[in-house]
Amino acid sequence: MTSDEIDIGGGQTRMEVAFGAGDSDSEASAVVAKKDASLGAIFNQNYRPWDGKLGPRWMRNYAIFRHHVYGLITSKGHRNYHPMVRLLIGLIFLVSLSPVPMLFLASLIGGEDGGFLNKMWGVNRYNLWGQVLGFFPRNLCLWPLLTALVVGGMISDDRQNGTSALYFSRPVTRIDYTAMKFISAATILGFVIVFSYFLYYTSAIVFRGEGWAFLADTLPMFLGGVFAGLILVFTYTSIGLSLSSISQSRFFAAIGFLSIIFGSKLIAFLIESQFKTTLLYVLSPYDCLAHIGQYLIGLPLNYEHPLSFSIVSIIMMNSAAIALLVSRVSSLEVTRE
Amino acid sequence: MIGTLRGFIQVLWDNVDTVNGDAVMLDEQTAPVIATKSLRKMYGPHLALDDATLELPAGAIGILGPNGAGKSTLFKCLLGLIGVTSGEGSVLGHDIRTEGDKIRSKIGYMPEYNSLDPGLFAIDQVRYCGELLGMNSKIAMQRAHEVLEYVGLKEQRYRKIETFSTGMIQATKLACALVHDPEILICDEPTNGLDQRARSFMLKTLRRTVKQGNRTVLMSSHVMDDVQEVCDRIVLIHKGRIVVHRSIGELVSKVEREIEIVVWGGAKKMDEALSSKGLETRRLGRVIRIKFEDDYTVNKILEAAISSGVQVRQLYEYEPDLEDVFLLIMEKLGSEIKGSSELLAIRSGGEEE
A108 pLDDT band (50/70/90 cuts)?
Answer: confident
CATH superfamily of B12-253: P-loop containing nucleotide triphosphate hydrolases (3.40.50.300)
pLDDT one-digit tens code per residue, A248-301: 899 999 999 999 999 999 999 999 999 999 999 999 999 999 999 999 999 999
pLDDT for B314-327, tens place per residue?
A: 998 887 777 777 77
User: Residue A56's closest chain B neighbor by CA?
Assistant: B134
CA atoms lying within 13 Å on the CB side of residue B176: 30
Please tell me which of the candidates B100, B114, B133 has its beta carbon nearest to residue A161. Answer: B114
- Please name the residues between 191 and 210 in chain B that touch chain A, using a CB distance below 8 Å: 204-205, 208-209
Does the beta carbon of A177 lie under 8 angstroms from any beta carbon of chain B? no
Helix (H) or strand (E) holding B312: strand B311-318
Q: Is B268 in CB contact (< 8 Å) with chain A?
A: no
**What is the CATH class of B256-318?**
alpha beta
Contact B114 A162 (CB under 8 A): yes
| Pairing between β-strand B233-238 and β-strand B60-64 as defined by DSSP bridges | parallel
Instruction: Specify the pTM.
Output: 0.81
Give the pLDDT band of residue B264 (cuts 50, 70, 90). confident
| Residue A159 near residue A191, CB atoms below 8 Å | no
Model confidence at A23: pLDDT above 70: no
Instruction: Tell me which residue in A163, A167, A168 faces B116 most closely, judged by beta carbons.
Output: A163
Q: What is the pLDDT at residue B266?
A: 86
Answer yes or no: do A161 and B212 touch at CB < 8 A: no
Nearest by CB to residue B115, choosing from A47, A78, A165, is A165
Please report the pLDDT score of residue B341 as a whole number. 55
CB of B257 within 8 A of CB of B304? Answer: no
Residue of chain A with shortest Cα separation from B212: A47
Residue A111 has pLDDT above 70, yes or no: no
What is the average pLDDT across B61-79? Answer: 87
DSSP letters along B159-182, please? SBGGG--HHHHHHHHHHHHHTT--
What pLDDT score was predicted for residue B1? 41
The answer to whether B105 and B144 are in contact (CB under 8 A) is no
Average pLDDT over residues B325-350: 57
pLDDT at A19: 43
The reported pLDDT for the residue numbered A14 is: 45
Which of these, B197, B189, B240, B247, lies nearest to B219 by C-alpha position? B189
Residue B254 contacts A where some CB pair is shorter than 8 Å = no
Q: What residue segments make up the domains of chain B, in order of their start?
A: 12-253, 256-318
Min Cα distance B305 → chain A (Å) is 51
Ranges A6-20, A151-165, B150-164: which has the least confidence: A6-20
| CB neighbour list of residue B286: distance below 8 Å, 6 or more residues apart | B262, B263, B264, B267
- % helix, strand, coil for chain A, step of 5: 70, 0, 30
Q: Could you give the CA distance from residue A286 to residue A254 in angstroms, rounded to a whole number? A: 16
Q: Which residues of B touch A57 (CB under 8 A)?
A: 134
- Banded model confidence at residue A39, pLDDT cuts 50, 70, 90: low
Higher pLDDT, A156 or B64: A156
List chain A residues with CB under 8 Å of B181. Answer: 48-51
- Indicate yes or no: CB of B150 within 8 angstroms of CB of A334: no
Residue A1: the pLDDT is: 42
Q: What is the ipTM of this complex?
A: 0.83
Q: Residue B68: which region, alpha, beta or left (left: phi > 0; alpha: psi -120 to 50)?
A: left
Q: Provide the CA B149 distance to its chain's centre, in angstroms.
A: 26
Residue B233 pairs in a beta bridge with: B61, B247
Least confident segment among A217-226, A293-302, A304-313, B305-314: B305-314
SS3 percent helix, strand, coil of chain B, rounded to 5, is 40, 25, 35
Interface test with B, best of A57, A66, A70, A166 (most B CBs within 10 A): A166
When comparing pLDDT for A264 and A18, which is higher?
Answer: A264
Chain A contact for B143 (CB, 8 A cutoff): yes
How far apart CA B109 and CA B91 sit, in angstroms, is 14
pLDDT mean across residues, chain B: 83
The whole-angstrom separation of Cα B36 and Cα B56 is 9
Averaged pLDDT, B199-222? 93
pLDDT over 90 percentage in chain A: 68
pLDDT for B28 equals 44
Neighbours of B323 (CB within 10 A): 16
Residue A189: the pLDDT is 96
Which residues of chain B neighbour A47 with C-beta distances below 8 Å?
150, 208-209, 212-213, 215
| Count of CA atoms in the C-beta half-sphere (13 A) of A253 | 31
Break chain A into its structural domains and give their ranges: 1-41, 58-330
Asked if the C-beta of A15 comes within 8 angstroms of chain B's C-beta atoms, the answer is: no
Give the model's pLDDT for residue A28: 47
- Which carries the bigger pLDDT value, residue B225 or residue B7? B225
Average pLDDT in chain A: 87
Q: How far is CA B98 from CA A171, B90, B156, B188, B309, in A?
A: 13, 10, 40, 24, 70
Read off the pLDDT of residues A165-193 as tens digits, 9 standing for 90 and up: 899 999 999 999 999 999 999 999 999 99
% of chain A residues with pLDDT over 70:
85
pLDDT greater than 90 at residue A31: no
Residue A127 has what DSSP assignment?
H
Peptide bond into A171 cis (omega under 30): no
Verify whether the Cβ–Cβ distance B113 to A167 is below 8 Å: no
Contacts of B169 (CB under 8 A, 6+ apart): B114, B116, B161
Provide the pLDDT confidence category of residue A26 given band limits of 50, 70 and 90. Answer: very low
Which of A42-51, B180-189, B222-231, B291-300 is modeled with the greatest confidence? B180-189
**3-class DSSP assignment, residue B184:** strand
What are the pLDDT digits (tens) for A47-105? Answer: 999 999 999 999 999 999 999 999 988 878 888 899 999 999 999 999 999 999 998 98
Chain B contact for A175, CB < 8 A? no
Residue A24: pLDDT band (50, 70, 90) is very low
Q: What local confidence, expressed as pLDDT, does residue A40 receive?
A: 58
Can you give the pLDDT at residue B33?
A: 92
Inter-chain CB proximity B115 and A168 less than 8 Å: no
The predicted model gives B184-203 an average pLDDT of: 92
pLDDT digits (tens, 9 = 90+) for A228-244: 999 999 999 999 999 99
pLDDT at B22: 41
pLDDT value at position B27?
Answer: 44
Beta bridge pairs of residue B281 = B290
Label residue A335 by pLDDT band (50, 70, 90). Answer: low
Answer yes or no: do A64 and B132 touch at CB < 8 A. Answer: yes
Q: How confident is the model at residue B70 (pLDDT cuts 50, 70, 90)?
A: confident
- pLDDT at residue B351, rounded to an integer: 39
Q: A54 at the B interface (CB within 8 A)?
A: yes
